[in-house]
Structure formats: structure tokens, C-alpha cells
A and B are shown apart, each in its own frame.
Chain A
Amino acid sequence: MARRRSTSISSGRPKWFVYGVLAIVLATAIFPFYWSFLIGSGDQSTIYATNFSWIPGGNFIHNATEVLKNPAVNFWKALGNSVIVSTTTAITTVVLSTLAGFAFAKLRFRGSGVLLVAVIATMAVPVQLGVVPLYILMQKFGWTGSLGAVIIPALVTAFGVFWMTQYLSQSLPTELIEAARVDGCSMIRTFWHVGLTAARPAAAMLFLFTFVTTWNNFFWPFIVLDQNNPTLPVALSLLQANYFVDYSLVLAGVLLATVPLLLLFIFAGKQLVSGIMQGAVKG
């Protein structure tokens, strides 16, 4: 028995049992979405029915439009804001992290080791620690309630710098940089043509990762933004406050807010998966 199994580690396919367990895991991952659709497509009476049916009702469109047109929830504004905040943050994070990563990985300068350690050390600091003064700071600048207050602190992350440094130091041959320099490229052009090109796979992953994280971020936007100018998670919190007894509307709204990111995941999830896999090996 043990012998036969041992051959399967390198060559054979695993048993049906493994697929069975993974299928259960997958079902667990999908079920909550199906559940929101089930509730979101019903009306209030469905939830309190003693025997609920596993077949969706026909009210989803109605519930969704109800949520979309509620002025207190500001759904479209929130969607737009989330797109703006996540895209801006992801782009600046990728560019600035690649720039810093390029310097740390491939350029020689005094203090680079210490500075890199400093970057990594900042990762250990929890968000909560700086939240009170950051809020006061934003108030002084008059930025509370505006998207800038969410974007500015997230322009570049320590994780991004560390990630790009790791990637570039392993995958960008120093000869390439030398060649570009010999050909008369300035540093910044070398970065633009050689660094950024080599960084493309890791940059794509960093973009996705930052995008998803920013999109889902709640704590800080919840503190610094107000109801008139929310991001999607903040709008979701308003949704609950507005329809607190009518779960079919709340869950229809939740599903609506989740769809954009699910679509992104379907198209780019492969990249995200391989990025996470890669990062773990190197990190």
C-alpha cells in the first residue's frame, strides 16, 4: 500500500479523494455568493419563511435597482470613487516601488543596506498606530472627506518596494544595465527601458495586489471619508444602516458591489495566483 502510494508523489495523479476534498473547499468558497444571490433575489418574506427554497426568486433586478437609486447609499459615486482610488494607488505604487526596487537591487549607493532594512521595518507598524494623528493631519490640510486623504498615504508601500527589490535583484541581469549605460543611457532612461521592462511580471502582480487591497480597504476610508463621498466598502456599511431590516436589499447590494472585483479576478486571477506563489518562495 505504502509502496504504491509512494510512486504517486512524483508521477501519478492523486486519487479521487483529493479532488473530492478540493471540490468541497471550492464549494465553500462559492457558497456565500450563491447565498447572497438567493436572499438578494427574494423579498423580505423569503428570509423569515420557515422552509427556505434553494431556488432563487425573481426579485434580484428589482432589489438591485432599489439599491442603485437610493441617494443615501451613493452607489455609483462609491463605485467611481473605488475605481479612482484603487487605480491611482495601484499605478503609483507600481511605478514608485519599481523605481525604488531598481535602485535597491541594482544600483550601488552608500547606506543602501540600512535603508532597505528601514523599508522592511516599516511593514511591522500597524495602521492603527498612526490613525489619530493622520486624521488630525488630514483635517489640518482640509482633506477629510476627499479622496486625496485615502490616496496620499497609500501612494507607495513598503511591501511594494520590498517585492520589486526581490524580483529585480533576481531577474534583471546587471549586464543589461551596464550595456544600456555604455550605450549612453542616463539612469532614468535605463530604468525606463531596462528596469521597467524586466519588472513587468512582478509589476502586474503588484498592481493586482494593490488594487484588490485598496478596493477592499475599510478602516481608514471609513474614518476619513463621509457619506457623500464614500468608497464601496464605506457605501456597504451605509447600506446596512439604511436597510437594516431588509436583508434582501442589503445582500443584493453586497453582490452588486462584489461583481466588479469578481470580474477582475476571473480575468486576472491567474496572474494574482502565480504572483502570490512566487512571492512566497522568494520572501
Chain B
Amino acid sequence: MSSTLTKPDRPTEEQRRAGGNAKLTWRQRRGHWDVKYSPYLYIAPFFLVFAVTGLFPILYTAFISTQDWDLVRNTGSYVGFEHFAWVLQDREFWIALRNTFSIFLFSSVPQIIVATVIAAMLDQNLRAKTFWRMGVLLPYVVAPVAVSLIFSNMFGDKSGLVNTLLGDIGINPILWHTDVIPSHIAIATMVNFRWTGYNALILLAAMQAIPRDLFEAAAIDGAGAMRRFWSVTIPQIRPTMVFVIITSTIGGLQIFDEPRMYDTFGLGGANKQWLTITMYLYNTGWGKFNFGRAAAVAWILFLIIVSISLVNFFLTQRLIASDTVAKKVKPKRVKASKGGK
């Protein structure tokens, strides 16, 4: 179709023969520039915004982390790696690191397991599919700050709902705002409340892309529902699983809203029971107004996130990969021998 028509932005054969580009009309030349430079113009806004609000700050953070920053003059004097050394020697930093990891584990591990189960249930031929999917996603639209205020009340130490219910079945009240592990569980619950459904939908999408005849084949071979889930569903959604694990790692290590709003003071509890690294960063930068140290914390956090993501990536790749191979090979052999008989 296009070969029979003349494109307005290119010179015609006749024009080319008659003298090439030199004789292009203004209109054609404009068309030529349009094709050549427009794409750059279209992607420019993203790179401009990123340069100013992303790239520059990242590099500048590195610079500030080596400075003793003067808030009034908004300049600093060089102190080298002093801030990094200070942060790494600060007890509070290590408590924050411990808390962050603890909350992260309490949230992401059960979350991904439950999300996978919910996804598997949604993956069946349900009535009112959209209704269930929307229901599962509902918590996701609620602001974490709001979730935190609600759950902080439900997990009240003295008269919270959870303790009252526990009391009804004869369990002593748990000090959700005082003890370390209970406070981590309460905060992880908020995270799970908000993200489980979201992750379930992402996993569901991956499950729906699995060719149905794989299940049929497995079923004919005598695999029950559980077996099909482990040997077909899980290996097939591996890339999405890796994606979910990595995004929840990145999100989990940055957690701020929920622990910050868990009590009125926002300092992470009397003994810093639920202080997280991002809270520590905030308190250093905007509580103690030490921007140099805050910048150092930011870099340390960044390095932790990158390394954990990489470890996660390789681990999940390997674990699930070896699983797939083992399970793919074994049933085949069984099948072959059965067929031989």
C-alpha cells in the first residue's frame, strides 16, 4: 500500500534524480526533520524530569554524604567518610536494620504464600470473577497512613480488638506496642493487608497465561490438584514470582509510612522497637537536621537494597529452576515406564 503512494517527508524518485536533497521543498525538509528529531523531543520530558529530580539528587547525595552540611548557608565542608563511619557505629542504625529485616520477613514471606494461594483460587472458573478480583484489590487503594491508624487501634495494648479477642479465647494480652516481635508482627500485618491482594492479581495474571492443556495433560497423567499446583503452576509462573519477590523486597526495605504512624510520636517506640532504616534516615535528616549523615544513610540503604535484590534474584532463579528440572524429568520417566508396560 505505502509503496504505491508517495510519502510526503521523503523526496520522490524524480526529485532525487533531478538533484537530491538540494531541491527539497521547505515542506519536505520540515518533514524530514520531523521524522529525525521528533522521537528525541518526545522522550525528552522524561529524561529532563529524571535529570533534575532523579539523577542529579543521586549524585548530589553522594557529594553531601561527604560533607558536614550547614543548613543555614546550604553548603558544606568536606569530612570524607566520617558520616558513614558514624552511622555504622551508631547502635540505633543497627537496631533499625534489624527491625527493617524482621518486619520485611514477617510481611513478605506469608504475603507471597497467601497471595499465591489466593491467585490459585481466583484462577478457577469462578462466578462473578471481577467482583472477587476487585474485592481482593480493595485494600490496595487505601492510604498506608490510614491503614496504619486503623491497625494501630486494633492492635492496642490495653483495650485493642485483637487483645480482646485473644482474651476471649483465654490468651493473655500481647503488648503489641511494647514488645519487639509483636510490634513487628503488627506492622507486617498492615503491609500484608495492603499488598497481598495486589500481588495475588499479578500472580493470577501469570497463571492465566499458562496453557490449559498443560493442566489437562497433568490431570490425565493422574496428578491431583495439589500436584498440578506444585508441578505445573509454580514452575510456570517463575518469572512473575521473581518479579513479585524483588519488588516486595525493595518496598519492604524502604518501609516508612506504617511504622511511622504506628504510634503518636513517630519515633519507632520507646526503645526503638519498630524504628526502620527509612525512619532513621528521616529522623537524622529532619529530626536532627544532619543532612550529611542522612545522605550517608541513604547510600547505605541503597547498597543494601541492591545487594539484597541481587541475592534474591539468584536465589529464586536457582531454587525454582532446580525444582522445575527435577520435577520435569521425574514424571516423564514414570510416564515412559508406564507406557512401556
Within 73-108 of A, Cβ neighbours of B (below 8 Å) are at: 96-97, 99-100, 102-104, 107-108
Q: How many inter-chain residue pairs (CB < 8 Å) link A and B? A: 321
CB neighbours of B138 from chain A (8 A) = 29-30, 265, 269
Q: B240: CB under 8 A from chain A? A: yes
Question: With A5-B224, A18-B126, A254-B150 as given contacts, are A130 and B57 in contact (CB-CB < 8 Å)?
Answer: yes
CB neighbours of A202 from chain B (8 A) = none
Interface size on A, residues (CB 8 A): 112
CB neighbours of B125 from chain A (8 A) = 8, 10-14
Within 8 Å by CB of A237, from B145, B220, B282, lies B145
Per-residue CB proximity of A29-48 to B under 8 Å, as 1/0? 11011011001000000011
CB neighbours of B54 from chain A (8 A) = 122, 125, 130, 153
Interface size on B, residues (CB 8 A): 112
Within 51-101 of B, Cβ neighbours of A (below 8 Å) are at: 52-58, 60-61, 64, 74
Determine the main DSSP class of A at the interface with B.
helix
Whether the Cβ atoms of A10 and B212 lie closer than 8 Å is: yes
CB neighbours of B133 from chain A (8 A) = 273, 277
Whether the Cβ atoms of B149 and A236 lie closer than 8 Å is: yes
Q: B43: CB under 8 A from chain A? A: yes
Whether the Cβ atoms of A32 and B147 lie closer than 8 Å is: yes
Residues of A with Cβ closer than 8 Å to B? 1-2, 5-14, 18-19, 21-22, 25-26, 28-30, 32-33, 35-36, 39, 47-48, 50, 52, 96-97, 99-100, 102-104, 107-109, 112, 115, 118-119, 122, 124-137, 139-140, 152-153, 155-156, 158, 161, 175, 178-179, 181-182, 184, 186-188, 191, 212, 215-216, 218-219, 223, 232-233, 236-237, 239-241, 244, 247, 250-251, 254, 257-258, 261-262, 264-265, 269-270, 272-273, 276-281, 283
Given contacts A184-B8, A273-B130, 15 further A-B contacts (CB under 8 A): A22-B132, A29-B136, A47-B159, A50-B159, A109-B39, A115-B43, A126-B305, A128-B254, A152-B53, A156-B45, A219-B282, A241-B264, A257-B146, A269-B137, A281-B205
A–B Cβ pairs within 8 angstroms, 25 of them: A9-B216, A22-B132, A22-B136, A25-B197, A29-B138, A32-B150, A32-B154, A47-B159, A100-B42, A103-B39, A124-B250, A128-B301, A128-B302, A129-B58, A129-B301, A130-B298, A132-B57, A132-B291, A134-B53, A250-B153, A251-B153, A258-B146, A269-B141, A280-B206, A283-B243
